[in-house]
Structure 1
Amino acid sequence: MDKQLMISLGREFGSGGHVIAEKLADNYGIALYDKNILRELAAEKDVGEKNLRRYDERPKNPLLSRTVRGFTNSPEENIARMQFDFIRERADAGESFVIVGRCAESVLRGRPHLITIFVMGDMDQKILRTMETENLSEEEAKKRVEQVSRQRKAYHNHYCKEKWGDARNYDLTINSSRLGIEGTTCVLMDYIDARRAADNWE
């Protein structure tokens, strides 16, 4: 791959977005960044990865947080900022990658060779997928989908001017329930290939 390719993939919980991101990364032979960013940050900062995971993709708690002269005591905000810096550094280095969530479509906005995608899904399909992947009852899965979706929305909207899941903020928004994971991945690859060809990336 001669030209840089950055794919930002936002997703609703239970939509299969992470699996789709894995398939895109495999297809293009590029890195996939998701929770593994925390592993790299933990090694770099010499802290436990488990501690970082507790605050991943969560908005800061205003009742427990204060900011003085640009410095904050909020672990959620500090970890978010570290991840945003990580994404920018990889982009600045010319690396090609797929990045899942983490406000990447906003963090990388305006850069050439960036494609932004949002994967959504029907509620019944998201519940079913969550039941299967997390071994939950239907009621438990529904609560899990709703809880994580609220959390992701609050996180994104805290750090970005653009609203989470608003189709106007992405190159392509797609419902994975219509074609399934494989079909959705194929549609996305067709779009990415068409964009790269139209923009003369190669």
Structure 2
Amino acid sequence: MGQFIISVGREYGSGGHYIASILAERFNVPMYDRNMLDQLAERNGIDAENLYKHEEMKRQGLHRTVRGHSSSVQDSIAQLQFNFIREKAESGESFVVVGRCAENVLRDNPALISIFVRGEEDAKVERISRLYKLNRIEAKAKMFRHDKKRKAYHNYYSKMKWGDSRGYDFCVNSSLMGVEATAEALYSMLSTYLKSKEQ
């Protein structure tokens, strides 16, 4: 099988991260999410906690840009992650990447298959309540807060709008079949697609 890169964008509570981890496991390839910050911190001699505070956030306040370099810490971390994704793609490695505008960063790469996972509000709130031991009101607030941040980040750094089906190869509602069954259906579909590319 040739190189393939699966990018997974997701609504908070949709199980998109878990689906990405199942796909990485089934295809036996690495998954990059927040863990890329640990590698970047080690490579650049930075404390990873400082990176975690600002990841997947758009630029805050007023900052100068000089010769294409921004003084914004959010911009710097975003660009570090985008370069990391490009570097992994250029190395010929197959992998799964969660978020980080990967479907935009790698949009011209023929190995890319982009997925967006959404879900019904009730199902997402139930999942968040269960995972984080929150009541429904707290879970709903957490969901809106995270989605607002993700949308702002994505739309700041990408040409396509977050969650717009035209920007992805596959858009799926994980509430219809449940998270595990959605992951298996995607695995089956992607396997068929990758095999067809080889013929």
Please tell me the TM-score bracket, short chain as reference. Answer: over 0.9
1:62-120 CA-partner distances (Å, limit 9, x unpaired) = x2422122221111110000000000000000001000000000111121221110000
Identity of aligned residues (%): 45
Between Structure 1 and Structure 2, how many residues are aligned? 199
**Residue 140 (structure 1) aligns with:** 138
Residue 141 of structure 2 aligns with an amino acid whose one-letter code is: K
**Residue 46 (structure 1) aligns with:** 45
Runs of 5+ consecutive residues of structure 2 not aligned to the other structure: none
2: CA distance, partners of 1:70 / 1:161: 18
Residue 149 of structure 2 aligns with an amino acid whose one-letter code is: Q
Deviation at 1:131, TM superposition (A): 1.0
Q: How does 1:1-202 map to 2 (within 5 A)?
A: 2-61=1-60, 63-200=61-198
Structure 1 residues 185-194 or 63-72, which shifts more?
63-72
1: CA distance, partners of 2:144 / 2:72: 24
Deviation at 1:27, TM superposition (A): 0.2
2: CA distance, partners of 1:72 / 1:35: 22
Structure 2 residue matching 1:198: 3-state secondary structure: helix
2: CA distance, partners of 1:4 / 1:77: 29
2: CA distance, partners of 1:146 / 1:66: 30
1:4-31 CA-partner distances (Å, limit 9, x unpaired) = 1110000000000111111000000000
2: CA distance, partners of 1:137 / 1:65: 39
1:139-164 CA-partner distances (Å, limit 9, x unpaired) = 11101100110100000000011110
Normalized against structure 2, the TM-score is what? Answer: 0.97
1:135-188 CA-partner distances (Å, limit 9, x unpaired) = 212111101100110100000000011110000111100000010111101110
Structure 2 residue matching 1:8: 3-state secondary structure: strand
1:32-59 CA-partner distances (Å, limit 9, x unpaired) = 0000000001111111111100111001
2: CA distance, partners of 1:42 / 1:188: 33
Residue 109 of structure 2 aligns with an amino acid whose one-letter code is: R
Residue 22 of structure 2 aligns with an amino acid whose one-letter code is: K
